[in-house]
Amino acid sequence: MKPIELCIVGGNAASNLLSMDVDCLAAVTYTKFVRPPTSAALLHSAPVLSINVCNNPYFAPTGALPALVVPPPVEPDATPSFHAEDVQVVSGLEPVLDNLRGLYGARDPDTILFSPNSATNAHLISAKARAFASLVQDALHDAVEYEQWCHPVNYTTHTRRWFADHSPFPLNYLVPRQRRQTVLDRLVLKYPEPDGDTATSSLRSLIGALTGSSSAASSGQSASSSSRFSLLQSRPAQSTVAASDVASHTHSLHFDEERLYRNAREALLAISQQLGRDGRFLLGDHPCYVDALVFAHLHMIFNSKLPSSRLAETARSYNPLVRYCERMYASLFASDISTYGAVTTSEAQSAIDEKRLLRTRAWQFGLASIVSTIAYLFLSGQVVISAADDDDDDDGNAHAGVALDDDDDEAVDVEM
């Protein structure tokens, strides 16, 4: 079986930034927890996984990375070959994580940590994991994307420039503009001008539940392990914003920036308190998918090197967050940072690109055939368009003359 490929947006090796996309970074971090084999010598134990830095979101069916490319199974004695229709491409953070769990179930740290047979309180740990995942996705993710895509100085001097240098034409112009507008539309809908603060009050009640062990324990009794990943969907999808809602805000793209930063500060405080309480990882001595989410956002905050970042200033004031990010990076990525800086090409991606190229050439051939047929009809004289005087209309000839207007002196004749 050919290696399974995780397609991501690349980063900047000079600043030790692993990826310019926080979801891609979370997916890569989770693969480090699963620890799939990276050599064909270990193929008998689990499928081989490779990282493919492609910087092309349109490679995925949904137009967003990360994407997981799963080639078709190959018989041991058969000659491996790729056909685009046989390659399975899964895109989006949650589907990618679900597929990784299915492929590497025995190595999945979530299965071990949340198992009823584990030594930990599975219900309590599962409830806290779901709560922290919701906190990161609802509050911290918005602030990270705002500073990266919507802040005027950061977007102009950092984000747009990076994509212009690392993406092929015309994606280097299209992707930053579309992504910026998508993030801005979502923030306008989610953080309207202050005429109500229900979202903030609900977020604070969630943070209160995280900091209070009794409420967390009560919520843990009703939480099911099978639904612990559903809160990854709490962040609105890029394509689910209603057009009518966006249109109602086109006259004003202002939103409550202070509420966005306030929510992010409270989320950072809750995460810092949890890290200072439990130990090496967010929920104890073993990692889980929430650690991938938290590390991805903290790494983006600390290593993006944005010209203006209130979020980085706030995060650096919490020593547990700084130590956690440094420890995770040193243990997981320090040895292979160069892997995430350059664009790579894979056999599976080449097969899919070839299919798209053939489809484009088919359209071009069809258009060229139509144009050539029309040109032949005119050049061979089978279709003639000529101008005739009004006197020709009274001769009773076979010409078909059509007057354009009563004031016009000419008509158009068509001869077949």
Query: What phi, psi does 254 have (nearest 5°)?
Result: -85, 150
274 & 398 share domain: no
3-state secondary structure of 386: strand
Residue 357 lies in a domain: no
In terms of residues, how long is the chain?
416
Residue 339 lies in a domain: yes
Q: Show the domain range for 217.
A: 4-344
Residue 355 lies in a domain: no
Query: Any idea of the CA torsion for 71, 77, 79, 81, to the nearest 10 degrees?
Result: -10
Q: What percent of the chain has pLDDT over 90?
A: 26
54/11 Cα distance (integer angstroms):
11
310 & 413 share domain: no
With residue 412 as reference, give the H or E element that holds it. Answer: strand 410-415
272 & 391 share domain: no
Q: What is the pLDDT of residue 241?
A: 42
The chain-wide mean pLDDT, for the chain, equals 73
The last residue of a domain, from among 290, 318, 344: 344
Number of H helices, E strands in the chain: 16, 7
Q: What is the pLDDT of residue 245?
A: 41
267 & 412 share domain: no
230 & 308 share domain: yes
Residue 279 lies in a domain: yes
> In the Cβ-directed half-sphere of 111, how many Cα atoms lie within 13 Å?
13
pLDDT in tens, 244-289: 443 433 334 588 899 999 999 999 999 999 988 756 888 877 888 8
pLDDT in tens, 127-160: 888 899 999 998 999 999 999 999 999 999 999 9
The last residue of a domain, from among 344, 369, 401: 344
Residue 329 lies in a domain: yes
- Is the pTM for the entire model greater than 0.75? no
Residue 210 pLDDT greater than 80, yes or no: no
The last residue of a domain, from among 289, 324, 344: 344
414 & 311 share domain: no
Contacts of 254 (CB under 8 A, 6+ apart): 188, 193
DSSP secondary structure string for all residues of 69-127: EEPPP--TTSPP---GGG-EEEESHHHHHHHHHHHSGGG-HHHHHT-TTSSS-HHHHHH
Place of tokens 């969630």: 206
Q: What is the pLDDT of residue 391?
A: 53
More confident residue, 388 or 80: 388
Beta-bridge partners for 90: 68
Region 41-60 average pLDDT: 72
Residue 72 lies in a domain: yes
315 & 412 share domain: no
Question: Given pLDDT bands bounded at 50, 70 and 90, which one contains residue 380?
Answer: confident
- Contact (CB, 8 A) for 165 and 318: no
154 & 275 share domain: yes
Residue 239 pLDDT greater than 60, yes or no: no
251 & 329 share domain: yes
Return the DSSP state at 383.
S
Buried b or exposed e, range 166-191, using 16+ CB within 10 angstroms = bbeeebbeebbeebbebbbbbbbbbb
> Which among 7-21, 115-129, 178-192 has the top mean pLDDT?
178-192
405 & 331 share domain: no
Q: What is the pLDDT of residue 242?
A: 43
Q: How many folded domains does the chain comprise?
A: 2
Burial status of residue 40 (CB atoms within 10 A of its CB: 0-12, 13-18, 19 or more)? exposed
271 & 396 share domain: no
Query: What phi, psi does 356 have (nearest 5°)?
Result: -65, -35
Return the DSSP state at 159.
I
204 & 145 share domain: yes
Q: What is the pLDDT of residue 331?
A: 87
Region 17-27 average pLDDT: 92
Q: What percent of the chain has pLDDT over 70?
A: 61
Residue 140 lies in a domain: yes
Question: Given pLDDT bands bounded at 50, 70 and 90, which one contains residue 312?
Answer: very high
- Contact (CB, 8 A) for 11 and 19: yes
Residue 361 lies in a domain: no
Tokens of 349: 């991606």
Q: What is the pLDDT of residue 208?
A: 64
Question: Given pLDDT bands bounded at 50, 70 and 90, which one contains residue 109?
Answer: low
- Contact (CB, 8 A) for 106 and 45: no
